[in-house]
Amino acid sequence: MSHTAGIESLGDLRGKRVLVRSDLNVPLDGTTITDDGRIRASVPTITQLSDAGARVVVTAHLGRPDGSPDPRYSLEPVAARLSELLERPVAFATDTVGASASETVAGLEDGGIAVLENVRFNDGETSKDDSVRGAFADQLAQLADVFVSDGFGVVHRRQASVYEVALRLPSAMGGLVAAEVEVLRRLTEHPERPYVVVLGGSKVSDKLGVIDNLIDKADKLLIGGGMVFTFLKAQGHEVGKSLLEEDQLDTCTRYLSEAVDRGVEIVLPTDVVVDTAFPSGDREPQPSVVPASEIPADALGLDIGPESAAAFAAALSDAQTVFWNGPMGVFEVAAFAEGTRAVAQALTEVTSSGGLSVVGGGDSAAAVRQLGFDEAAFGHISTGGGASLEFLEGKELPGIAVLERA
């Protein structure tokens, strides 16, 4: 990939309408934002544009409203939180390309900021039909003079506000996307060694491309979370009621043998925390620790055990580069959070000793915040789980490629 121009390439922005595609897709409980990490990550670019005298028009999505307005997915509470974080007023348009959007944008003064309603309330945003997406992008482009792509969580999507708009306006990469791309290139092009990749989360199938692409780049691969039970089963162990992808057993067997051939160390848990039922609100957890090779038939694994957590931390202790994607267990429940906590703590120590630690978005980023870690203790916390995985798989990301066109 070639170098992509940043905001400075757009010249003097005073008085110009700048459409910014941010990633404001935060979890909501009703209208209460339960994790504002993505909103906070969007603040520096919006501030930079506002301070430059631009008239900033923010577009973003929230959830999957299926192409029509749905009040459950309104960005109004997000706009209010953004205003608090920016410490300046933020106007809110109750539609994306309709009368409210036009009036709101027309009313902006230099340095003013507006948020448009959820871009996915319009079926043109995610349509599979290029002409439908293009027509919607035409409407978005009419609201602005230039475009800044700053929503890393969506750059792997060929969607109107990510891809087609960039074909219609002078475009640049925002600071957040630029930082993400720079860090991910460090993970793929010439990582400092030892290079350790930590993978968790529920499914092996979600991580196939990453394992395929990194198994010959990493020195160690640590595997936890729900996906580990398919690996354990591939080794011949019984896994009880644990999450299992039967159709991936051969793939896991192949990875285990490829790792030996390539001199890559795959570290699997030697003990796991189990319970007889998945955590639910009407039952107290009843955790117990068992060897990974002796999971009872009536139990399911919900975290890596204390011995494994110590082994994972030890495997990370001399790392110069670490990429972590996916929690080690059901971190939302204290009884099953210690494996994830141990990995997060080990990453902070990699950072403090001068290494690069990257938390790969999604649940891992949420876990870091929920478990009370200081985000500044990590080298980089990605805002886009899916996008960072696809980058590490070696795939072209449409929202980046379109900015790199001639």
Q: What is the DSSP letter of 280?
A: B
Residue 64 is labelled as binding a ligand: yes
88 is in an annotated binding site: no
- Is 362 among the catalytic positions? yes
- CB neighbours (10 Å) of residue 149? 29
Residue from 178, 149, 190, 169 nearest 59 by CA: 149
3-state SS, residue 237: coil
Tell me whether residue 98 is one of the annotated catalytic residues. Answer: no
Q: Which residues contact 362 (CB under 8 A, 6 or more apart)?
A: 201, 325, 326, 385, 386
332 is in an annotated binding site: yes
Binding residue per annotation — 11?
A: no
Q: What are the DSSP E strand ranges found in 72-152?
A: 91-92, 113-115, 146-149
- 301 assigned to a ligand binding site: yes
161 annotated as belonging to a binding site for a ligand: no
For tokens 């700053």, the residue is: 150
Instruction: Please identify which of the residues 16, 17, 21, 38 carries the catalytic annotation.
Output: 38
Within 157-219, residue ranges assigned H as helices are 165-168, 175-188, 208-214
**Residue 110 in marked binding region:** no
Beta bridge pairs of residue 223: 199
Q: Is 120 assigned a ligand-binding role in the annotation?
A: yes
**61 marked ligand binding residue:** yes
Measured CA to CA, the distance from residue 66 to residue 121 in angstroms comes to 7
Answer yes or no: is 112 a known binding residue: no
Residue 30 annotated as lining a ligand binding site: no
Phi and psi at residue 247, to the nearest 5°: -75, 0
168 is in an annotated binding site: no
316 is in an annotated binding site: no
User: Does the active-site annotation cover 203?
Assistant: yes
Is 254 assigned to a binding site?
Answer: no
Residues 6+ apart with CB under 8 A from 146: 10, 13, 16, 17, 18, 19, 169, 170, 171, 172
Q: Which is the catalytic residue, given 37, 151, 240, 362?
A: 362
- Cβ atoms of 308 and 377 closer than 8 Å: no
Give the residue carrying structure tokens 């790392």: 319
Three-state secondary-structure class, residue 24: coil
Q: Residue 157, annotated ligand binder? A: yes
Cβ-count burial 278-304 (b if 16+ within 10 Å, e if not): ebeeeeebebeebebeebeeebbbbbb
Name the β-bridge partners of 138: none
Residue of 53, 67, 134, 386 marked active site: 386
What does the alpha-carbon distance between residue 232 and residue 12 come to, in Å, rounded to a whole number? 58
Residue 128 known to be catalytic: no
Distance CA 81, CA 120 (A): 20
The one catalytic residue among 40, 168, 203, 369: 203
Q: Contact, 173 vs 197, CB < 8 A? A: no
Residue 10 is labelled as binding a ligand: no
Tell me whether residue 24 is annotated as binding: yes
User: Which residue ranges are tagged as binding site for ATP?
Assistant: 207, 301, 332, 361-364
User: Which residue ranges are tagged as binding site for substrate?
Assistant: 23-25, 38, 61-64, 120, 157
Positions annotated as catalytic residues are: 38, 203, 362, 386
User: Which residue ranges are tagged as binding site?
Assistant: 23-25, 38, 61-64, 120, 157, 207, 301, 332, 361-364
